[in-house]
Amino acid sequence: MAAPMRNVDEIRNRVILGEFGVKNVHSTDFPGNYPEYDDTWNQKKFQKNFRIDIIQMDENSMEFDMVGIDAAIANAFRRILLAEVPTMAVEKVFIYNNTSIIQDEILAHRLGLIPIKADPRLFEYRNADDEEGTEIDTIQLQLKVKCTRNPRASKDSSDPSELYINHMVYSRDMKWVPIGNQADVFGEAGIAPVHGDILLAQLRPGQELDIVMHCVKGIGKDHAKFSPVATASYRLLPEITLLQPVKGEMAERLKRCFSPGVIELESIEGTPVAKVVNSRLDTCSREVLRHDDLKNLVKLGRVRDHFIFSVESTGILAPDILVSEAIKVLMAKCRKFLNELDSVEME
């Protein structure tokens, strides 16, 4: 009885990486599918099995584990992080003077993609028909640069940074123009691009840029410039099981088939024996399945409900705040649906 049960558990909990394909990809634990299991949704059972472990976190990126949650919900968090967490970005570019070699639309496109360090939770969305923009939904930035010849340069130098003044336009040249009460709200720190060293354009003497920009709040679904993450991804925890003890020269080769640090050799009675030390580091390249004598000794799989998330922020908001915001967006959507349901039932 133990062997078939283990088989069923395997189908329920593991994604199997075979030689020619990946098996058991879809989750099948729904009520009625397995006679011995009660798969009805139970919040207490979920809370008992669920845990989050933070592996690494710094100001721009974090890596954390979510264990015990269904793939659909984990994927929903990932998709919301990419496309539905709002940020502020340059939307309207008023070009009063552009005599540089960069075309207007190319320059406007580049300005839109610059991340602006402004907390989007303090702003509102702009109404569709509002042309001017008020202090609660718009940030105004100005870029005014003129390139001139440097009178103090030596006669025969050919280095542009010596010959010209202001010939490189960086994102730090974008200056914030406070509207209304923004000066009191944001005061000291002000609003500026996250990175000041993004090169926008190169100028030569006589060329100038005179641009006013309006930033609005938007989501990544509308335009990728509003996406708050450099990327957000997850992978499932790999699992490597050795079906038989592997010794000697085969152990050496087995070790080389996996990423470094996954398999270590320990010496038992003189011969090196392979042992799985840290399967988390593996990238699941299935290299071991290419060798005929090694492929029947291991079983490769992934744990279906253990997600290793990796979130890298563009710098506007800290990555842990981004994840919290993503979860709140999902809750808001559920609530909106419930309200809709209730209002329809009233009629």
Partner 1 sequence: MVMKNPDVEFCGYSITHPSESKINFRIQTRGGLPAVEPFRKGLNDLTEVCQYVLDTFEARVKEFSDREAAMD
Q: How far is the CB of 57 from partner 1 (least distance, A)?
A: 6
State which amino acid sits at residue 279: S
Q: How far is the CB of 6 from partner 1 (least distance, A)?
A: 24
Q: How far is the CB of 341 from partner 1 (least distance, A)?
A: 6
Task: Work out the angle at residue 228's Cα, subtended by the Cα atoms of residues 224 and 229, and round it to the nearest 5 degrees.
Answer: 95
Kindly tell me which of 136 and 327 has the beta carbon lying closer to partner 1.
327
Long-range contacts of 257-262 (CB under 8 A, 24+ apart): 257/287, 257/288, 257/291, 257/294, 258/282, 258/285, 258/287, 258/288, 259/283, 259/285
Kindly tell me which of 42 and 127 has the beta carbon lying closer to partner 1.
42
**Dihedral (Cα; 100, 230, 319, 262), 10-degree rounding:** -150
Q: How far is the CB of 143 from partner 1 (least distance, A)?
A: 35
Return the H-helix or E-strand segment holding 200: strand 199-202
Give the span between the Cα atoms of 304 and 238, in whole angstroms: 9
Determine how β-strand 139-146 pairs with β-strand 175-177. Answer: antiparallel
Kindly tell me which of 8 and 73 has the beta carbon lying closer to partner 1.
73
Q: How far is the CB of 12 from partner 1 (least distance, A)?
A: 14
Kindly tell me which of 13 and 166 has the beta carbon lying closer to partner 1.
13
Q: Which residues bind partner 1 (CB under 8 A)?
A: 30-32, 39-41, 43, 46-47, 50-54, 57, 64, 66, 69, 73, 320, 323-324, 327-328, 330-331, 334-335, 337-338, 341, 345
Kindly tell me which of 19 and 53 has the beta carbon lying closer to partner 1.
53
Return the H-helix or E-strand segment holding 305: strand 298-313
